Amino acid sequence: MKYGRKRVLVTGGAGFLGSHLCERLLAEGNDVLCADNFFTGTKENIAHLMGNPYFELMRHDVTFPLYVEVDEIYNLACPASPIHYQRDPVQTTKTSVHGAINMLGLAKRVGAKIFQASTSEVYGDPEVHPQTEDYRGSVNPIGPRACYDEGKRCAETLFFDYFRQHALRIKVGRIFNTYGPRMHPNDGRVVSNFIVQALEGRPITLYGDGSQTRSFCYVDDLIEAFIRLMATPDDVTGPINIGNPQEITVRQLAETVIAMIGSKSEIVYHPLPADDPMQRKPDISLARATLGWEAKASLEEGLGRTIAYFQARLGT
Ligand SMILES: NC(=O)c1ccc[n+]([C@@H]2O[C@H](COP(=O)([O-])OP(=O)(O)OC[C@H]3O[C@@H](n4cnc5c(N)ncnc54)[C@H](O)[C@@H]3O)[C@@H](O)[C@H]2O)c1
């Protein structure tokens, strides 16, 4: 630790979740190094942090080794939405797998504690509902989502091998759908899609009949769970589900967004994409017990803040 401040590396720090994490870590008095290759992240997401002397931005691709002195690493680098991660699937797998190897190698060299942003997608199209951490998942290894799902599964494998083989201090959080300000307006994720379509008065596109369920966590709640997980004793490794178990159908979400915006958008139905999960809901008993955490923001509160962000951004 230098100057009494913890030096924290956030990979993917210019992305949606990463930018909120950098903000929170700075607010807590840490020295933050943000490493990003700007594949999906933007400088606008972190522009408001650039004047802070304890914030440093570095253009870096995690598929290459990184040599820096840090106390903690949050490994978030990886495109998260299907549109982005399927654009260059080989690079997606490389980012997850080589990225994990490089960041774990760095953690080992400098003795840093390391957090992995894993995902509910490791459960694939689950046969059990809600998903607990001991459920091993149902992933199609050769489908279009596999570059992400299998990449993230392999990253978890690497984290646990470094833990067993090199006694590394690891923290693995399995993130469920999260939304909030700074999501990409055009990345096809359901919350941002619906809000942007409703604000622009365009038809709301719903895949399948809209009866598939999702549970949405507001970003501030999620970041709180990251911080708490990082602060747990060394024998707490995860994986720990982090998400909001409040489940709604995608059609209900569309209707809520339309009502909150007062939009005249109609709902139009399209075929369900390959391997799209029908149900997604975290069992967060472990997070409640280990982190004393659960999501606080209601869907209406979170949507309200997200809608306000997109209104300002789109000038609607
Ligand atoms: N948002 C969610 O609902 C959600 C759910 C599950 C898991 N996650 C995980 O959380 C992390 C952050 O997701 P997000 O929603 O903020 O997505 P995002 O796309 O906004 O952020 C990802 C960031 O990683 C950067 N990046 C991508 N490849 C990189 C590389 N090779 N080297 C360096 N930087 C690279 C991008 O430029 C971007 O800034 C991801 O690892 C994602 O898999 C997110």
Give 39 Cα–ligand 1 centroid separation in angstroms: 9
**Which DSSP state fits 301?**
H
Classify the C-alpha dihedral 92-97-101-104 as positive or negative: positive
Helix axes of 146-166 and 89-110: crossing angle, nearest 10 degrees: 20
Structure tokens that stand for 163 in this block: 């833990």
Q: What is the CATH classification number for the domain harbouring 46?
A: 3.40.50.720
Q: Write phi, then psi, for 241 (nearest 5 degrees).
A: -70, 135
Q: Is residue 163 part of a domain?
A: yes
pLDDT at position 249 is 93
Residue closest to 170 by CA, chosen among 212, 229, 95:
229
Tokens of 58: 């570095």
- pTM value is 0.95
Ligand 1 neighbours by CB, cut-off 6 Å: 11-12, 14-18, 36-41, 61-63, 76-80, 95, 99, 117, 119, 175, 177-178
- The pLDDT of residue 74 is above 60: yes
At 280 the pLDDT is 77
What's the CA-to-centroid distance between 309 and ligand 1, angstroms? 20
Q: What pLDDT does residue 275 have?
A: 64
Task: Give the β-pairing of 247-249 and 213-215.
Answer: antiparallel
Q: How many domains does the chain contain in total?
A: 1
* Residue 232 Cα to ligand 1 middle (Å): 23
Give the C-alpha separation, 76 to 189, whole Å.
18
Q: Are 77 and 102 in contact (CB under 8 A)?
A: no
Measured between alpha carbons, how far is 289 from 207 in angstroms, rounded to an integer? 36
Domain annotation covers residue 262:
no
Ligand 1: residue of 16, 42, 58, 147 to mutate (most ligand atoms within 8 A of CB) is 16
Residue identifier of the C-alpha nearest atom 34 of ligand 1: 36
Ligand 1 centroid to residue 77 C-alpha, Å: 5
Buried b (16+ CB within 10 A) or exposed e, 204-228: bbbbeebebbbbbbbbbbbbbbbbb
Within a 10 A sphere around the Cβ of 176, how many other Cβ atoms? 26
Question: How large a percentage of the chain has pLDDT more than 70?
Answer: 98
**Measured distance CA(181)–CA(157) in Å, rounded:** 32
CA atoms within 13 A on the CB side of 180: 21
| Domain annotation covers residue 57 | yes
The answer to whether position 32 is within a domain reads yes
Residue 258 lies in a domain: no
H helix runs in the chain, sequence order = 16-27, 82-85, 89-110, 146-166, 190-199, 219-230, 250-261, 285-291, 299-314
**For residues 162-167, average pLDDT:** 98
Q: How far apart are CA 183 and CA 160, in angstroms?
A: 30
Rounded to whole angstroms, what are the CA distances from 33 to 42, 53, 82, 227? 15, 11, 27, 16
Q: Are strands 178-179 and 217-218 parallel, antiparallel or unpaired?
A: parallel
The answer to whether position 51 is within a domain reads yes
pLDDT of residue 315: 82
Q: Cα(160)–Cα(45) distance, rounded to whole angstroms? A: 32
Q: What angle do CA 103, 107, 110 make, to 5 degrees?
A: 135
**Cβ of 96: how many Cβ atoms within 10 Å?**
31
246 has pLDDT over 70: yes
Q: Among 40, 54, 48, which Cα is nearest to 20's?
A: 48
pLDDT confidence bin for 222, thresholds 50/70/90: very high
Which domain covers residue 12, as residue numbers? Answer: 7-179+218-244+281-296
Mutate to test the pocket of ligand 1, among 23, 38, 76 (most ligand atoms within 8 A of CB): 76
What pLDDT score was predicted for residue 278?
A: 74
Give the per-residue pLDDT at 2: 56
| Residue linked to tokens 């990184």 | 66
Q: Give the CA count within 13 Å in the CB-facing half-sphere of 289.
A: 8
Q: Is 185 contained in some domain?
A: no
Average pLDDT for the chain: 95
Residue type, 171: K
Residue 249 lies in a domain: no
Instruction: Assess whether 148 carries a catalytic annotation.
Output: yes
